[in-house]
Structure formats: C-alpha cells, structure tokens
Structure 1
Amino acid sequence: MKAPTKVIRTDKWQLNPTPDQKVLLGETVNVYRHACQYLVGIIHTHWAELGELTADQMTPAVEKLMHQTAKRPNVKYPQFNKAFYKFPSYLRRAAISFSAGQVSSFVTRYRDWQSGNRKRRDAKPPRLNADTGCYPSLYKGQCYKLHGYDQVEIKVFNGSDWVWTTIQVTSLRERHLVASNKIMSPSLVLNERGYYLSVPFACKPEKRKPEANVTAVDLGINTTATIAVVTHSGTVIHREFVHPGRDIDRRDKRLKSVSTRASKTMGKGGRLHKGFCSKTYEKCRRINHQIGHIVSKRIVEIAEQFNSVRVAWPTALAIVFENLKGWKPKGGKKRSNLRQRFHGWLKAKIRNFTEMKWAELGGKVIEVVAAYTSKLAYDGSGKVRRSSKNYSLATFPSAKRFNADLNGAYNIGARGVFKLVRRNSNEGRSSKRFGRPPRSWVCLCDLWTNGSSRLA
C-alpha cells in the first residue's frame, strides 16, 4: 500500500506590529533583499562550476566563496561579512537557495533564447534581475519562536544588530489545529495590505473509503454550480444549487460601469488609454476569486458530509467535473450579453480550488467527457429540448419537464461512477451497437439498468 501523499498548503497569519516594530520589519526585509542581490552576482559569476552541483552541495560551495570563518579566514568575496554584519546563518542559507534559483532560471531561459526557442523572432534576450521582491524565510528556533498562537518572537535587524521582538498574532486559520499537519518555515511578508506570516503546512491526508457514491458538479451560467450526490446504484441522495448571486451582481454592476465610462471617454470613436478602469477590473478579479472559494468550499463540504468515513483504502472517493479544457463560448444573439456572461464563467477557477481543498482531505477530483451531459435525459428517454425563454428548463421526450443543470449533474455523476469503478473502461470509443451513442455518453439510467453486474 502506498504511503499517504504529502500536500503542502499555506495559511496567512496576520500580525499586528507597533509603529516601531513596523520599522524593524521593513529594515529586515530590505537587508535580506540586498543580501540576495549580492549573492545573485556571486553565483552567476561562478555558475560554470556551481551549476552542476545539487541543492545540498550548492550552499556550502557558495559559502566557501563569501563567508569567513575561523577555519576559513581567506575567501574570494570578504565584502559580504562586512556589508551584512552578524547576518544570521539560517537567513544566509535561505538567501543562497533563493539566489541560486534565480540564476538557474535565468540561465535556462537564456539558453532557450539562444537555441531559437522564442515566442517571436525579434524577442529580446532575458535579463538577470537581481532586484526581486523576495521575503525572508524564518527557521524555527533561529529566526522565530512561537508563544502559543497569540504571539510570535521574530529576529529582526535594527540597523546595527539583530535583536528579538515579540509581535501579536491577530488572526490565523485552522490548519495548525490538525495533529497530522506539520508547520514548515514561514516567510515574513510585508505589502500594502499589512504584515503577516505566510505559514506552509505539510498535510498528510488519510485515504478515503467511498460510501458507494460520488459528488457530481455541473458548472453553469444561470446557476454557478449544481451539485448531486449519486450512489453506485444510481440513487441520488442529495442535490443542491450553489449560486452566490450577491457577489455576482456586485461584479456585473462594476463591469457594466466600465462600458458607460468608456462611452463617455471616447464617444463613438477613438481608443481607450492603457490601464483604463484597471482598478475596477482588479476589483472584479478579486470578486471572482472570492466566488470561486465560496462555491468550492460548499462543494467540498457536501462531499465531506456524505462521505465522513476515513480509513485506509485503495479506492478514493471523487468529486466529478466535466472536462471543459479548451472549450470556447459561442456568441449569442445580437445585443445579447451571453458572451459577457461566459467570460464571467469561473469553470477553471472553481474546479482548481475544489481540487486543492479536496486533496487536503484525502480525496481526488476526476473529469469526464462533457459531450451530451445536458442534452441527454437522465432517464434514457433521449435528447432533451431546452426552452427558448428559460434555458435552464429542459423537456424530456416523455414530456417530463426538469431542470437542465440538475439533469446534467445526474449524468456527470453516472459517468464518474463508471470511470471510478471500471478502470479499463471503453470511454471515448464508439459503441458496437448500431444507433447507440458512444459509451462515454453514459446517463444515470445506465446505473439502474446494468446494476452492479455491469460495473464489475
């Protein structure tokens, strides 16, 4: 049996420093960045011999060039110890690791450019940028000490010496409460939003034993996510519509204001300047980010609610999505806002956020063929007919009227069951029976008619 997969997730711990501590934190980040700039030059100069070393060999090799000790009084670059007096050893090694990564990335990109691998024929060569917005990594015991989860003691630079200062932690998430999670070295981050620690956790989720069901998700335009929990026998034990309408209205209202301002700015002709309404677009992107987290969180909560048993098992329960990679929207009728609504469709964001959250709990996300999930009736009666006035309403050949998104979720769940249980399925191949759709176009009724014998 394979060992549990390690998953890395990062929490943000908000800090509340005093005005004097803000100055110390800013000075600490600045001196760390200057050290990285200095080291980038040294590593790039000696990359011919350093580039062949492993990550474990890189740090001592660079220290031999610039770090003086009692046993090594003569080094090639003694200016480092003079410029960065009493620079902590753990910060120095973190800076070496970061700088080596910067140089390695530059050398790789430059070699690709030299070999002709360019986006454009007239593309300029890449440049080595030593002035990067990096942040110091803090090692436990040497650079930071936790006092419970209310205070953290950080080693900072006061302009002449490195001293300890205690800072209040005002907010944090729940990952530190999970016994199996291991706190890794955090980074001290300062930006316009505040001061905080970026704390990574090594999570070791337990494998899940499915309770004979999958959680299917249909991502749509009228309804952001339609969720159905489908058992392996074809029974739907839960269904739910997730649509954060308030956030969507906030986003659409801001986007609508862009066109109004654009018409007032350029009239019937002309061009908009670069960066027009950039703050509005940035706000809309953040709203989309929030919508993605809200919807994905609810999807994972439903999957967790109906699959609460955690034991070691080779088969993991899955959340099932349609494979919409490469899908391109088609324009609607004249003066229709359908194309704009498709641009606000967060299909990739919701799917990726769900996969990250669900993997942390030991689950997996799978994708099924998207063709005919909504066009075929889940009861096997044939193709559905969508209402021209209400596109979310579908009429089955049997005259039954049903929600189109929910019908699609049922079929997605059925395809997910087939993909999970039948590893060597014929998905993507045509059926040998004349008049039958491809075998990948499974509907919910196939679980009813075939039962467990077909899934075996």
Structure 2
Amino acid sequence: MQIVSSYGVEIKKKNIPLRATLDIFRKAVSYLIPVYAETWEELSEIRNPQKRFNEAEHLVHETKKNHARFLFDRHFPKMSSYLRRAAIQHALGAVSSYQTRLSLWKKGELRGRPKLVCENHAMPVFYRDVMYKEAEPGEDAAHLKLFDGREWKWFQVKLLHTDMEYLRKKWSGKKASAPTLERKHHKYFLRFSYTEEVSLSKTDVKEQVICSVDLGINTDAVCSIMRADGTILGRKFINFSSDKDHLYHVLGRIRRFQREHSSRQVQSRWDYAKRLNMELSRKIAAEITKYAAEYQADVIVFEYLEMQGKISGKKKQKLHLWRKRDIQKLCEHQAHRNRIRVSRVSARNTSRLACDGSGAVVRNQENHSLCTFRTGKQYNCDLSASYNIGARYFIRELLKSLPETGRSSLEAKVPAVKRRTSCVYADLRKLYVEVNNLKAA
C-alpha cells in the first residue's frame, strides 16, 4: 500500500520575486483555460491522456516542426518548459472538470449551471534541477528559478530552521517529490511530498488486538484496548482541556465583538478560532495513534458518525466545531504509517445501551459523562460506548469468517448479534464462547 505524506517548509527570505512568479504562472493558466475550452471538442476525442496533453501543448507552443495555433509564447516568453507544462496540465484539468459538471447539469443531476472560472488559485511546481536545487547538506536554504519581472533567474531561498530540522529527523534518506509553492496566511511555503510503501497488519481476527475509540464533545476521546474474547488490556481518556478552554475564550471574545460591532471585520478572529480547532484535531489524532501503537494494536475502530439535518440546542456551536471527520482522517493516515488498519462500525445505540447487556442507561444530569445501568451500577458512559464499539467490530469479523451454516447456528444461540445496531460488549463475550464450542464440536 502506498501512503503519501506532505510537509510545508516556510520560506523566510522575503526580498525574492515569489509574488511575480506566482502571478505569471496564474496568468498563464488563465490564458490557457479559454483556449482549451474553445478546442475541447477536438481534444476530448483523444482518449489517451498523454496524447491529449501533447496535442494541447502543440496548440500553444511554437517549435521548428510545429506551428502553434495560439500566441501563448508571445505573451509568456522564456517561460520554463516544465512550468509551461504544469500550467497546461492545470488548465486541462479545469476545463475537463467544467465539461463533466456541465454534462451532469444537462442531465438534471446537478443544480445550477456550472461556470468556467478562468481566475484561479493555481500554484507552480518547482521541478528538480531545472526549477529547484537543494543547498549544501545541513544548510537551511534552497535555490529556485523565479521570474523577476523581466527574465527567469536563480535565487537562493532561506527556509525555516525548525521545519528543515524536522525533515532531516523524520524523512532523512527518503526522496521527496518536486516541491509545490504554497501560500497560507500571508506566508509562503514549499510543500514536499513523500511516498512510502507499507504493508498493513494481516493478523487473524481471533489473534487481533484493537483500539476502539469513542469520540466525544466533553471528553475528546476514550480508547479501549481489546482482544477478540472481550479481554480489556488498557483504557485511556484523552482530553485537552486547556486547548479547549483557550478555544472557548476566543469564541467568547468573538461573541462580544459581534454584539458591539455586528459581524463585520470579524473574519480574522474566526480564522484564528478555526486554526485552534484544527490544531486540537491534530493533537487528538496523534494521541490516539500513539496509544494504539504502544499496545501494538492491529486495528483502530471508530464509529461511523454522520450528522444530518439542522442542529439545535444549547450545544449547537460545540457540535458545529466538532471535527470528528478530520480526527478520523488524520488518525487513519498516521495509523497506516504505523501499519495499523482502520475500521468503522455503526454508531447507533453505542452510548445509549449499557455494555453489560442490561439495556438502556440513564444519564447523570449533573455530570453528563456518567450514567446509571439498570442494575444500579454507575459507570462512565463514554467508556461503556468504547467497549460496545470494539465489540461490534469483533462480532462482525467473527461472523464474517464463518460459513453460512455456522453463522446461522451462532445467531440462534446468541440472538442479540442478529441486529448489529443493538450489539453490546456482553454479546461479544457470549458469542466468543459459542464460537469456540462450535469449532470444538
């Protein structure tokens, strides 16, 4: 399995023509998009992507053997061939996407007629040796070929020391792809991509160790390390309370500012809050993966969380800021790098049903994280949910590995496993005993 990771290195030196290079590249893409939109009928007949690209380049680039139909070279003289090809590829992609959306709109599968946008936010790629050269080993710099307003020249670019130290520590000896220029928050970055070949765990389900995760709002995540027989090897509550407190203070300042000054000039404050929230997601995902790796888990199991419809109530803003999908996506990438699989189960009733099989729980009104089972036992609701999540994964995998006759026999002995949305931890314990008895017989 191939895993692609990327990292952006901040560019420190500002007196280099990065803006001029970015402007000329975007102007080239804006020039090419209407050209290929006009000639799309003949380009679309070429099915081979490489041949289509070659034909697109012949339309705009003049050579001894080729007479260009459009005057691209006159408008953009001395442009590097690699940068020109990057602009052609981006323009072809934009026109192809527009034509696809247009055909869907004509069929009635898309609302609103799509528009072909020529003003774009394309970023140039600096190909090695011809556009980008590495500096001496240990030096926090690189050499880029940039447009200074008249011609293309080589410039030395200073890079942030901490970013370069991270790359030397984590990615030393691994070849990076050609860097892409990136702009974020008025800063410029060079983004490097690394491709790794990893083989994910193929341990038999009965021998697997999993990390079941219940993502929450009050507690960021509750993790349980579990075996197929229901043995719990470890539990962990992940909660970055100081980070959330900082975020809520920022949100309070935004509310006060909006009351006094309406919603104008508040975008920068919201951008800051979103960055804090995204950083919190990264920390949660890293902590989950680290805990799973400590126990050499084979699988990390999440709930399949899908919230539809209008959100209302006093926790409306918290739910809007809950980056559950981002956490799972970040965690999935980090888990795969550690050769750990990621799986998802139905989220229905995982928190509502007690893990001991006694039925629905009653939430504590003063402390929403606590609940009371029908047996009278008080327990942490998120921890009970994490047990149920892990149990549903094992129930599904154990039944899937059996033939139809064996599965029907087990479902007759443990009827609760027929409905996956009502399975709990206690049902796994019963099922595992019956699976062993079935194989012994």
Do they fold alike, i.e. is TM over 0.5?
yes
Residue 90 (structure 1) shift: 1.0
* Correspondences of 1:81-92 after superposition (within 5 Å): 81-92=73-84
**Alignment partner of 2:89 out of 77, 97, 103:** 97
* Residues 1:417 and 1:80: Cα distance change in structure 2 (over 3 Å): same
The alignment status of 1:390 with 2:367, answered yes or no, reads yes
- Once residues 452 and 205 of structure 1 are traced to their aligned partners in structure 2, the CA distance between those partners, rounded to angstroms, is 35
- Once residues 357 and 13 of structure 2 are traced to their aligned partners in structure 1, the CA distance between those partners, rounded to angstroms, is 63
The alignment status of 1:60 with 2:54, answered yes or no, reads yes
* Structure 1 residue matching 2:30: 3-state secondary structure: helix
The alignment status of 1:345 with 2:322, answered yes or no, reads yes
Q: Equivalent residue for 2:429?
A: 448
1:259-288 C-alpha deviation (Å, 9 max, x unpaired): 4444446xxxxxx56x57333322222222
1:14-50 C-alpha deviation (Å, 9 max, x unpaired): 222252x2xx222211211122122223212211111
**Alignment partner of 1:138 out of 122, 126, 131:** 126
* Residues 1:328 and 1:298: Cα distance change in structure 2 (over 3 Å): farther
Report if the CA contact (8 A) 2:176-2:194 is conserved: yes
Residue 221 (structure 1) shift: 2.3
| More helix per residue | 2
Residue 409 (structure 1) shift: 0.8
Report if the CA contact (8 A) 1:175-1:181 is conserved: no
The alignment status of 1:71 with 2:52, answered yes or no, reads no
- Once residues 176 and 135 of structure 1 are traced to their aligned partners in structure 2, the CA distance between those partners, rounded to angstroms, is 27
Residue 181 (structure 1) shift: 5.4
* Structure 2 residue matching 1:218: 3-state secondary structure: strand
- Once residues 414 and 78 of structure 2 are traced to their aligned partners in structure 1, the CA distance between those partners, rounded to angstroms, is 80
Residue 442 (structure 1) shift: 2.8
Q: Equivalent residue for 2:7?
A: 11
Q: How many residues align?
A: 422
- Once residues 354 and 184 of structure 2 are traced to their aligned partners in structure 1, the CA distance between those partners, rounded to angstroms, is 52
* Correspondences of 1:315-326 after superposition (within 5 Å): 317-326=298-307
Q: Equivalent residue for 1:214?
A: 210
* Residues 1:340 and 1:46: Cα distance change in structure 2 (over 3 Å): closer
The alignment status of 1:283 with 2:272, answered yes or no, reads yes
The alignment status of 1:27 with 2:17, answered yes or no, reads no
* Correspondences of 1:253-402 after superposition (within 5 Å): 253-264=249-260, 275=264, 277-307=266-296, 317-326=298-307, 337-402=314-379
Q: Equivalent residue for 1:50?
A: 43
- Once residues 377 and 193 of structure 2 are traced to their aligned partners in structure 1, the CA distance between those partners, rounded to angstroms, is 51
- Once residues 98 and 207 of structure 1 are traced to their aligned partners in structure 2, the CA distance between those partners, rounded to angstroms, is 34
Residue 58 (structure 1) shift: 2.3
* Structure 2 residue matching 1:320: 3-state secondary structure: strand
Report if the CA contact (8 A) 1:154-1:165 is conserved: yes
Residue 163 (structure 1) shift: 1.9
Residue 345 (structure 1) shift: 2.9
* Residues 1:178 and 1:368: Cα distance change in structure 2 (over 3 Å): same
Report if the CA contact (8 A) 1:50-1:61 is conserved: yes
TM-score, with length taken from structure 1: 0.83
* Structure 2 residue matching 1:70: 3-state secondary structure: coil
Report if the CA contact (8 A) 1:151-1:167 is conserved: yes
Q: Equivalent residue for 2:219?
A: 223
Structure 2 gaps of 5+ residues are: none
Q: What is the identity, as a one-letter code, of the residue corresponding to 2:55?
A: A
Report if the CA contact (8 A) 1:112-1:118 is conserved: yes
Give percent identity, aligned residues only. Answer: 27
* Residues 1:101 and 1:306: Cα distance change in structure 2 (over 3 Å): same
* Structure 1 residue matching 2:91: 3-state secondary structure: helix
* Residues 1:144 and 1:100: Cα distance change in structure 2 (over 3 Å): same
- Once residues 291 and 212 of structure 1 are traced to their aligned partners in structure 2, the CA distance between those partners, rounded to angstroms, is 30
The alignment status of 1:158 with 2:152, answered yes or no, reads no
Structure 1 gaps of 5+ residues are: 266-271, 309-316
C-alpha RMSD of matched pairs (Å)? 3.0
Q: What is the identity, as a one-letter code, of the residue corresponding to 1:449?
A: K
Residue 292 (structure 1) shift: 0.9
* Structure 2 residue matching 1:94: 3-state secondary structure: helix
1:318-343 C-alpha deviation (Å, 9 max, x unpaired): 211112213568755xxxx3333333
* Structure 1 residue matching 2:11: 3-state secondary structure: strand
Q: What is the identity, as a one-letter code, of the residue corresponding to 2:299?
A: A
- Once residues 41 and 339 of structure 1 are traced to their aligned partners in structure 2, the CA distance between those partners, rounded to angstroms, is 44
- Once residues 25 and 146 of structure 1 are traced to their aligned partners in structure 2, the CA distance between those partners, rounded to angstroms, is 17
Residue 197 (structure 1) shift: 0.6
Q: What is the identity, as a one-letter code, of the residue corresponding to 1:241?
A: F
Residue 68 (structure 1) shift: 1.9
Q: Equivalent residue for 1:411?
A: 388
* Structure 1 residue matching 2:77: 3-state secondary structure: coil
- Once residues 260 and 69 of structure 1 are traced to their aligned partners in structure 2, the CA distance between those partners, rounded to angstroms, is 63
- Once residues 97 and 135 of structure 1 are traced to their aligned partners in structure 2, the CA distance between those partners, rounded to angstroms, is 12
